[in-house]
Amino acid sequence: MSIRTPLCDLFDIEHPVLLAPMARVSGGALAAAVSRAGGLGLIGGGYGSADWLEHEFEAAGDARVGVGFITWSLARQSYLLDLTLERAPVALMLSFGDFQPFLPRIRGGKTKFIVQVQTLDQAREAVDAGVDAIVAQGTEAGGHGGARATLPFVPAVVDIAKEIPVIAAGGIADGRGLAAALALGASGVLCGTGFFASDESLASDNAKQTAVSGSGDDTERSSIFDIARGLNWPPDWNNRAMRNSFTQQWSEDIEGLRQNLAEEQVRFEAAWTADDTDIAAVIVGEAADLIRAIEPAQATLHRMISQAEGRLRRIRRIVEPNSKG
Ligand SMILES: Cc1cc2nc3c(=O)[nH]c(=O)nc-3n(C[C@H](O)[C@H](O)[C@H](O)COP(=O)(O)O)c2cc1C
């Protein structure tokens, strides 16, 4: 048994699993590791510079990878899009903002265009624009996101998308999540948190260890890390990360943080540099429950696939009790 969906054909990949383009985490080495393991790795172009992006493309070597950008941020650095398209990545993913101005430059080439959505209206817009695939992201996700939960949101987007493959994201980090996403009608999954603690991830060892020893209970959505990092995120999206002493101090007092911003930014930057995760952000989602070790991305991906196959076989036996498959 192997799991093949239309997503495998769309990207010419073996397994319907994508690495999320996590800013400052999904570099070329991690993207390449996921692609070489049979999925598709997306480099997190997030807040990167041209030099950073070139470096990460080099780190990916000859692996077939894609790239993802934060749309509102890309609007300020649109030369990054030209630089990316020159490399003809397998896929380009845009999230968080108006993708329409970029469409003419993306269309017509070999690069497949993916849009990540957090509301049904955004899904309808992506369908009307004729995108190649839609990521339906639930609020369980690590990093930025919206308010909808993955379980009802994915099938609702599947109904809107019709023939366009839908990729489920948010809270999926093992084979049980993959099997569930397929049962909801998704064509595959996009995982961030599940690969955060990979050997190849750009997260610090301390951040990886904090994520491994933490759980989904320890995460919350808020804007305070964006404020502390001086990132002017639009109010439609906030950021899921692990609670720490910084969130305990400011989550309920955003005005206080703004009033003390100058000192707090210095303190936050210093903690980031010193890798002090009691103040700096460890950006993972509810799927932190399922990350148990720092390990090669290939091990995570292959375990996910064999576990999903096992689950789907068991489900088949529930429906057809005499089936041996
Ligand atoms: C550390 C981290 C950084 C992220 N950065 C980005 C980003 O730069 N651009 C983006 O589109 N999504 C980003 N995301 C969200 C992912 O695209 C994806 O929706 C999410 O990881 C899926 O949920 P999961 O974390 O439960 O797997 C990030 C997620 C994490 C965990």
Element (H, E) at 40: strand 40-44
* Count of C-beta atoms within a 10 Å radius of residue 125: 16
Indicate which atom in ligand 1 lies nearest the CA of residue 44.
Answer: 8
Q: Domains along the chain?
A: 6-202+290-319 (3.20.20.70), 214-273 (no CATH)
Residue of minimum CA distance from atom 31 in ligand 1: 142
Q: What percent of the chain has pLDDT over 90?
A: 94
Tell whether ligand 1 has an atom less than 6 A from the beta carbon of residue 70. yes
Tell whether ligand 1 has an atom less than 6 A from the beta carbon of residue 288. no
| pLDDT tens-digit series, residues 32-65 | 999 999 999 999 998 879 999 999 999 999 999 9
Between the CA of 144 and the centroid of ligand 1 the distance, in Å, is 7
Q: What is the best residue among 17, 22, 212 to mutate for testing ligand 1's pocket, by most ligand atoms within 8 Å of CB?
A: 22
For tokens 């049904």, name the residue: 120
The pLDDT of residue 320 is above 90: no
| pLDDT tens-digit series, residues 9-41 | 999 999 999 999 999 999 999 999 999 999 999
Indicate which atom in ligand 1 lies nearest the CA of residue 25.
Answer: 1
The pLDDT of residue 324 is above 70: no
What gap in Å lies between CA 154 and CA 228, rounded to an integer? Answer: 32
Between the CA of 21 and the centroid of ligand 1 the distance, in Å, is 6
How confident is the model over 251-266, as a mean pLDDT?
95
Helices (H), 87-119: 103-106
What is the residue type of 98? D
Tell whether ligand 1 has an atom less than 6 A from the beta carbon of residue 23. yes
Indicate which atom in ligand 1 lies nearest the CA of residue 286.
Answer: 26
Tell whether ligand 1 has an atom less than 6 A from the beta carbon of residue 97. no
Tell whether ligand 1 has an atom less than 6 A from the beta carbon of residue 140. yes
Element (H, E) at 94: strand 91-95
Contacts of 56 (CB under 8 A, 6+ apart): 27, 28, 31, 43, 48
Q: Phi-psi bin for 108: left (phi > 0), alpha (psi -120 to 50), beta?
A: left
pLDDT at 322: 79
Indicate which atom in ligand 1 lies nearest the CA of residue 23.
Answer: 8
Phi, psi of 220 (to 5 degrees): -150, 155
| pLDDT tens-digit series, residues 111-150 | 999 999 999 999 999 999 999 999 999 999 999 999 999 9
Indicate which atom in ligand 1 lies nearest the CA of residue 173.
Answer: 27
pTM, two decimals, is 0.97
What gap in Å lies between CA 52 and CA 71, rounded to an integer? Answer: 18
Between the CA of 269 and the centroid of ligand 1 the distance, in Å, is 21
Q: Convert 209-219 to b/e letters by CB count within 10 Å (16 or more is b).
A: ebbbebebebb
